């Protein structure tokens, strides 16, 4: 393994740094995006029970805000619970945008690593090929086996770039999908809380719209 790293030359240094960074981001996102951290089990039911009983003092709401992203979203609705339903929805949308941005932390960096890895690998290969052909220019072709070995070593950077980029791309897409699923669940909990705060009367028209309460995950 060390011989392959040496064969790639100095362009392997940024590729190795990207590998370490990608691994660190993946581990951090796995830890931060655990379901019990983002959507604690039973939290929505507990908050709706508070709202139904009217047991909503500022200390309860502030404690709820610190529990999780879902808690922060529900606390935002409770902060303005005395306002009309449309204004509560606007507050939830505003807080939801910040929560989505927080959950997407480091994902742009991971996507950049997925895109930059093959390019750095290709750059390292080009540098290696240039060095090899400059050597041929100075001393001739010499041993054909040695020439083939030089080409193989130059391609080490390309292979390393792909090894870095493919897992980074896979995890980038995976975390985006996980966040999108969390957003759907958070929107469902927020709608249920809105119904608890302001129940729809029988026979009253229910507003329908194409936009959800929580902003969607941005598409790449």
Determine the length of the chain. Answer: 220
Q: Is residue 163 part of a domain?
A: yes
Q: Is residue 90 part of a domain?
A: yes
Q: Is residue 209 part of a domain?
A: no
Residues 6+ apart with CB under 8 A from 174: none
Q: Is residue 190 part of a domain?
A: yes
Q: Is residue 22 part of a domain?
A: yes
Q: Is residue 214 part of a domain?
A: no
| Alpha carbon distance 111, 219 (integer Å) | 12
| Alpha carbon distance 99, 97 (integer Å) | 5
Scored b (16 or more CB within 10 A) or e, 60-85 reads: ebeebbeebbbbbbbbbbbbebeeee
Q: What is the pLDDT of residue 49?
A: 87
Q: Is residue 104 part of a domain?
A: yes
Q: What is the pLDDT of residue 211?
A: 55
Q: Which domain holds residue 13?
A: 2-197
Contact 172, 27 (CB under 8 A): no
Q: What is the pLDDT of residue 158?
A: 86
Cβ atoms within 10 Å of 173's Cβ, excluding its own: 15
Closest CA to 163 of 28, 15, 27, 2: 15
| Alpha carbon distance 45, 53 (integer Å) | 12
* Tally of domains in the chain: 1
| Alpha carbon distance 119, 117 (integer Å) | 5
**pTM here?**
0.79
Q: Is residue 123 part of a domain?
A: yes
pLDDT mean values, one per 10 residues, the chain (220 residues): 67 88 96 93 88 80 90 90 85 91 93 92 81 69 61 79 93 95 91 76 42 61
What is the CA angle 131-136-139, rounded to 5? Answer: 120
Q: What distances in angstroms separate CA 176 from CA 101, 104, 173, 183, 186, one per listed residue? A: 12, 8, 5, 11, 15
């Amino acid at each position: 393994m060390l011989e392959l790293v040496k064969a790639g030359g100095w362009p392997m240094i940024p590729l190795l740094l990207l590998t370490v960074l990608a691994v660190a981001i993946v581990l951090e996102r796995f830890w931060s995006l655990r379901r019990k951290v983002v959507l604690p089990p039973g939290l929505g039911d507990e908050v709706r029970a508070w709202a139904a009983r009217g047991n909503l003092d500022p200390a309860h709401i502030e404690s709820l805000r610190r529990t999780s992203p879902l808690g922060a979203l529900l606390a935002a609705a409770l902060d303005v619970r005395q306002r009309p339903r449309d204004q509560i929805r606007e507050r939830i949308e505003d807080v939801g945008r910040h929560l989505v941005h927080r959950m997407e932390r480091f994902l742009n960096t991971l996507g950049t690593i997925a895109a930059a890895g093959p390019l750095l690998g290709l750059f390292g290969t080009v540098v290696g090929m240039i060095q090899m052909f400059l050597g041929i220019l100075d001393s001739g072709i010499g041993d054909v086996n040695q020439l083939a070995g030089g080409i193989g070593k130059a391609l080490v950077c390309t292979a390393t770039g792909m090894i870095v980029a493919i897992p980074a791309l896979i995890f980038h897409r995976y975390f985006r999908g996980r966040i999108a699923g969390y957003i759907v669940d958070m929107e469902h909990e927020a709608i249920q809380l809105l119904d608890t705060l302001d129940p729809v009367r029988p026979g009253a028209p229910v507003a329908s719209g194409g936009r959800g309460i929580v902003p969607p995950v941005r598409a790449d």
